[in-house]
Amino acid sequence: MNQIQIDCFVAAALNGSISTAAKSLFLSTQVVSQHIQKLEAELKHPLFIRAKSGVRLTEFGQDFFNLASDWAVLYRDAIRHIEEAYNQMASSLNIGLSEYIDHMGEISGPILAFTESHDNINIMGNHYKSSDLLRGIEAKELDIAIIPDSQIVSGGDFEVAPFAKEDLHLFISGEVKNKKKLVIGSKELDELCASRPQLNTSYGVWTDKEWEEVSNRMSSSQNWKPQKIYELPNFRSVTESLRFFSATAVCDVRFGYHVDDSIFRTPLTTESWLCCVWHKQNENRLIKEFSDHMIQYYAE
């Protein structure tokens, strides 16, 4: 016995006709008749007296109809209570942002749009180191993380949904000569990068090895190491500071702060994706909704 069999039986009883019941259920008459016959076989009693003019309930059929009607009310109430409980579970969404992503940059656009369309839901967002992001996901302290795919540790029980390719550029401030020669892999670019300090963020002073890892992620053909590190609060401060003294910085131009054209920038080759990441067992319905929203936003 299943719900579709009961639906077919109740519709036939209310309409006094199997063909009319079939139309109300958007099914064929044959399919409705088969469902009713299977139900009768399982109950081992006829439910209808059939005639050319239609069908009418047997005494057993009337008793079963009363039970089926009561069951329908209980079923609807149960579904409503489950949906209410589920909606209450998803009353908040805790988003973690990678330290490489500036929440004041373009990334704020789709997050703000999602927030405005869910004004009854508490949506929180904070910056974390990548290792803390993944720990927070595993501990269910965070519902979702926005993170470059190069920072995702393999082996975790994660769902990963890429939504946008990074658009990484090398920013160079100060007087720049022979701009046409500043291309990836050129001697002029290597010398220029070596002559300028790198800009750092306040997430901790990066060692030469850490800068090397970041550089490798930015461009497979370069391995820039800083002569001196200036520590700043975030990537917006990094690129803003390029206005005031000669330095180099690597930043995603869409997700970081846009500087004016007086600062020279050159695109870097990278296949890194920005992703939405969450734990596979997290049942917050807003997670998939948010992830689909991000994919759609950057697909347009």
Q: Do 61 and 102 lie in a common domain?
A: no
Q: Do 116 and 255 lie in a common domain?
A: no
CA dihedral (186, 191, 197, 202) in degrees, to 10, reads: 30
Q: Do 243 and 295 lie in a common domain?
A: no
Q: Do 279 and 151 lie in a common domain?
A: yes
Q: What percent of the chain stands above pLDDT 70?
A: 84
Q: Do 233 and 193 lie in a common domain?
A: yes
Q: Which two tokens stand for residue 10?
A: 């109740």
**Element spanning 192, H or E:** helix 187-195
Q: Which two tokens stand for residue 240?
A: 């803003």
User: Residue 204's pLDDT band (boundaries 50, 70, 90)?
Assistant: low
Q: Do 160 and 290 lie in a common domain?
A: yes
The SS3 assignment for 135 reads helix
Q: Do 281 and 162 lie in a common domain?
A: yes
Q: Report the C-alpha gap between 27 and 34 in whole angstroms.
A: 11
Condensed to tens digits (0 to 9), the pLDDT of residues 57-114 reads 999 999 999 988 888 788 788 877 776 665 565 578 889 888 777 776 788 889 889 9
| Among 25, 59, 88, residue at a domain's last position | 88
pTM of structure: 0.59
Q: Give me the pLDDT at residue 210, please.
A: 65
**pLDDT above 90: residue 231:** no
The SS3 assignment for 53 reads coil
115: CATH:
3.40.190.10
Q: What is the CA radius of gyration of the chain?
A: 31
Q: Total domain count for the chain? A: 3
The number of helix segments (H) and strand segments (E) in the chain equals 10, 12
User: Residue 157's pLDDT band (boundaries 50, 70, 90)?
Assistant: confident
Write out 69-95 in H/E/C secondary structure. Answer: HHHHHHHHHHHHHHHHHHHHHCCEEEE
As beta bridge partners, residue 212 has none
More confident position, 223 or 14: 14
Q: Do 151 and 280 lie in a common domain?
A: yes
Q: Give me the pLDDT at residue 219, please.
A: 56
| Residue 58 structural domain | 3-88
